Amino acid sequence: MDDADLSQQVEQAIIAAALTNRKPQPVSPDGICIWCEDQPIVANTAFCSAECGVDYHKYHRELRQRNSGD
């Protein structure tokens, strides 16, 4: 997998998440993935990989569902 493929995967994951959540997308303040906080981000995203983007959005979705319970 080359950088272009990776970038495209992340982009698609972010777009899918954006369509689902309809919220502003997160940005990385320091160029490091905001989910794993370990790897440099892919350009124009806040994540190092599609997996991190998906996990981030899944986590926040579950958090919101849990909080809206009571």
Instruction: State the residues that interact with Zn ion by CB under 5 A.
Output: 33, 35-36, 39, 48, 52
Longest dimension (CA), the chain: 45
The distance from CA 7 to its chain's CA centroid, rounded to whole angstroms, is: 12
- 37's CB contacts (< 8 A; 6+ apart) are none
Minimum distance of Zn ion from residue 46's CB (angstroms):
9
Six-digit token string for 49: 């990989």
CB nearer to Zn ion: pick between 13 and 67:
13
Which of 21/39 has CB closer to Zn ion?
Answer: 39
Is the CB of 2 or the CB of 33 nearer to Zn ion? 33
